[in-house]
Every structure is written in C-alpha cells, then in structure tokens.
Structure 1
Amino acid sequence: MSASVKSSPGKFFEDFRPGETLIHPTPQTVTEGDLALYRALTGGRYAQYSSAEFARASGLPGLCVDPLHAFHIVFGKTVPDISLNAVANLGYADGRILRPVLPGDTLRATSDVIGVKENSNGKTGVVWVRTRGLNQRGEEVMTFVRWVMVNKRHAGSPAPETVVPDLPAAVAASDLTGFPEMETWYFAQSGSRHVYEDYEVGEKISHIDGMTIQEAEHQIATRLYQNTAKVHFDYHGQKESRFGKRLVYGGVVISIARSLAFNGLANAGQILAINAGSHAGPLFAWDTIYAWSEVLDKAELSETCGALRLRLVAVKDADPGAFLYKDADGKYDARVLLDFDYWAAIPRAR
C-alpha cells in the first residue's frame, strides 16, 4: 500500500513567486497567561506592559500585549509558509505598529512575496515578504517587511527571476501612529525620571545587565509564538547543519535585549515602528546576551509624547560598555548578535 501524503515539507526557494499572497494558519487568541509567560521568558519590566492601572493612566486602553510579543506571534504565523526551510532570518524593514493588542484579541497574518534572489552558491536564495498582522475585526495591528535565506529543494532547479524590493531606510517620524497621550506618567512606578528632553542624538547607553540563555527557555519562547522553524527545535536534524546544533530564534535575542534596555530606557517601553534589523551573528544555548543603545534621532509627537529613534545592539559574552559594533570596513564585530533600529514613545517633560 502506498504512503498517503498529507503533510507538507514547507516551501523551498524555487517555490516563491513575487506577487503571490500567502494566507497563514493558525489564528491565535492572546491571553493574560501568554503575557505572564512572555514576561517570565524575557524579564520584561516596562511599567505599561506590567500594570493595567499604569497602562490606562498613561493613555493605553488597558494592559496590552507588548508590541514585540505581538510581532513574534504574527511572525510565527508566517514560518510554515515562508521559513520552515530557512537557513536564517536576515533582517527587517518598514515595520509599523498600528494599534494596541489586548488580551482576548485574536491575531492572524497574511504575507505578500515582494522579492526573490538566488544566492551565488546555487543552493539557497533570499525571499522578501511584506507581512500584515490583523485582529479579529480585520483591522491591521502591524505590518513589516522581512527577508530570509531559504534552502533550494534541488540545487539544479531553475530560480525565479530576481526581484529586489526598494525599502525605506526608516519609517518617517511623521508616519508614526498609535502613540498615546502620556498626560499622566507615574515616574516613581516606571523606574526612571528620564524623559524625552533628557536624551541627546548620538548618546550611547550601556544597559549593564546580562542574561544567559538555556535550551529549554529559548524553545519555550519560540513555541509560545507557534514558530516551527526546524533550526530552533530539531537537534538531530541540525547535527549536519553549518553550526551542528540548534540556533536560538532571533526574536528571542530582540526581546531579551529590549528587556535589558529597561536599565537606561525605562520610560521608552512602547515600540512604534521597526526601521531596520539585522541578525549579525548566531546565538546558542549558554551564551549570555548583553545590550547597548544609541539615540539616532528624536521627534516631538505631541505636547505630552515624544519619540526616540534607537539603535539597539545585542552582543554575546562581551562588555556592553565597550559598545562593540562594526570595524572601519563596516563588518560587524564577531560578538555582535543584533542590530535593531526602532522608534519608541517616551513622555515629554511636564
């Protein structure tokens, strides 16, 4: 009797075509339990994502899902269709956080393929997609572009015609939406008295603290987002990979680095946009994440709310106060894990 083929091996590079739209399974209802688990796995301490009372006082509708948590859920929806056979997720651009997500909301995702380019080795290629996260009312809660290196099914297979999308270097400050009117801000509860006016463009901040990642932690975090990428889970399958072991999901690095950034940016907890992001180096179990930030730009959004454009750099097993980044040739230091450029809301001086 022949075997029944009902499971899917996922899409390989040659399966993608610019212009196609992918509707991703499975919708996920976010619960308060998910929020608690996210804090447990990342150590997040931002007041508006810890206290319902603080959140309402600061202009949010209640205790909301941290925008990065929502981003990872939406990202996770896309994995079976886009990056199940990925070598690595490479970067992000033009990410816009459009409205809050509350416990009880259900998130789903669709993606448009906007670019493809075969690599010179003939074994892999890069795929660009624009993903939309929607709630149960069909409202967009976020949209972002990401690009991922995907294995080919067969090295000799013909590649689709190259299309490389033109992406903005950053989301313009004038396009930032979803920021609250921070008329009331309890500084004694937030953990810092530093406001918009206290930060200067070019300023660098060491976030001091570090967090060591273990196997169980990064796997639970990735399962929380229903991300099924093989490189994060299949120890047996990864023995023959480039690294010979499981790779920690880059979103784990982003969230932990952001949590570490509380020490120095406690009042800048709400992400408004993701301008760019690169996973500069791999992270594995038992590596320790440290982080530092640089203020790239500032914008006044209202009389009570400003925005900081921040570069968040995560490094492993290195002093964050050394501000490791790139050399004179523009090559990342080997200890740099993440280069993440984003806008965050912050209260202005009273």
Structure 2
Amino acid sequence: MGTVQQRGLYFDELEVGTVFKHAPGRTVTEADNVFFTTLTMNTQSLHLDAHWSAEQPFGRPLVNSMFTLATLVGSSVAQLTQGTIVANLGFESVNFPHPLYPGDTLYSESEILRKRASASRPGQGIVTVRHTGRNQDGTVVAECTRHVLMWMKEHHEHT
C-alpha cells in the first residue's frame, strides 16, 4: 500500500487544448453573496438591497462578480494547481456576459491555451488558461484568461 497525495498537475503534464471540467458545482446562496460583498467592503446596492434591486433592469439582486470570479478560479485549484503553482501572474481578460443570481449553481471548466518554459526561472513554466463558468442552464456567466507560473515536475519533486 502506498500514499496518494492530492495535487494539481505540473507544467509538463498539461497539454494545450485539454479542457478540464471541474467538480463539484457551487450553488451560490444569498448569504454567500451578502457575506462576500460586505467582507470585501463593497457597498453596491445591487448585491445588498433586494427592494432597490427589484426596481433595476435585472429585477433582483446579482451575485457579486468578484465572488463569481474567485469561485471560478478557485474551483480549478484541486485539479490543476494544488501544490504545483508558483504564482498567479495575472489576468489577460475577465468578462461577465450574463448575471449570476443567488440560488444559481456555477459550473466551471478550464482550457489550456498556451504554455512555455520560463526564460528566467529554470524549472518553471508559464501556462495560459481560459476559465469558463456556466450556470445550471449552461449559460456562460463568467470567463477569464489567466497566466500562471507553474512548477515543472522533475525540478519540483527534487526540491
């Protein structure tokens, strides 16, 4: 019998074009939305005031888009970057084409778009990932393109 340590994938194990479907989905509650919004000092009534939001174009409160983004990226960690990431380098683009509402479930997937060995950091490489979030109806609610600095397997296992 051996031991299996949960981890993400190393730079060497990622192939351009691969799509990872992450599980589980995340049903977002009104409490999640209010807590995250107040925790991050966002006073936007669109997330906190149901009466006011009812009179706005969407007719009800929206889930804070920063919560949606954080959950979208976070859902990829166990499968892609747990223990194999050096750093999150940044986002090329972030889009929210459709609202996420309290009570909706966010389903996430990640596609490997590009990868290259780092010129300045031996044993590491830069991976470009597109994260896509859909609601329970399959409608895209969030998408982002992200650059991540990852460990190469051989270098990291020996350090």
Structure 1 length as normaliser, TM-score? Answer: 0.40
Structure with higher Rg: it is: 1
- 1:75-154 pair list within 5 angstroms: none
Q: Does 1:196 pair with 2:15?
A: no
Residue among 91, 100, 119 paired with 1:283: 100
- How far is 1:226 from its partner? 0.7
Measured at CA, do residues 204 and 259 of structure 1 come closer, stay the same or move farther in structure 2, by a change above 3 Å? Answer: same
Distance in 2, matches of 1:217 and 1:272, equals 27
Q: Does 1:258 pair with 2:68?
A: no
- 1:232-311 pair list within 5 angstroms: 232-265=47-80, 266=82, 267-268=84-85, 270-301=87-118, 302-311=121-130
- How far is 1:269 from its partner? 7.3
Residue among 134, 155, 158 paired with 1:315: 134
The amino acid across from 2:149 in the alignment is A
Distance in 2, matches of 1:281 and 1:263, equals 26
Measured at CA, do residues 269 and 214 of structure 1 come closer, stay the same or move farther in structure 2, by a change above 3 Å? Answer: farther
Describe the superposition over 1:233-252 as per-residue Cα deviations: whole angstroms up to 9, x where unpaired.
Answer: 12111111112111111111
For structure 2, list consecutive stretches of 5 or more residues without a partner in the other structure: 155-159
Distance in 1, matches of 2:85 and 2:142, equals 19
- Residue 230 of structure 1 corresponds to 45
Distance in 2, matches of 1:307 and 1:227, equals 32
- Residue 135 of structure 1 corresponds to none
Contact 1:207 1:262 in 2 (8 A): no
- Residue 338 of structure 1 corresponds to 142
Describe the superposition over 1:269-320 as per-residue Cα deviations: whole angstroms up to 9, x where unpaired.
Answer: 73111100100110111101110011111122222221210000011115xx
The answer to which structure, 1 or 2, has the higher relative contact order (CA under 8 A, 6+ apart) is: 2
Q: Does 1:216 pair with 2:20?
A: no
Distance in 2, matches of 1:345 and 1:223, equals 31
- Residue 348 of structure 1 corresponds to 152
- Residue 55 of structure 1 corresponds to none
Distance in 2, matches of 1:222 and 1:271, equals 23
Describe the superposition over 1:29-61 as per-residue Cα deviations: whole angstroms up to 9, x where unpaired.
Answer: xxxxxxxxxxxxxxxxxxxxxxxxxxxxxxxxx
- How far is 1:339 from its partner? 1.1
Distance in 2, matches of 1:342 and 1:310, equals 5
- 1:29-68 pair list within 5 angstroms: none
Percent same amino acid among aligned pairs?
A: 23
Secondary structure at the aligned position of 1:197 is classed as: helix
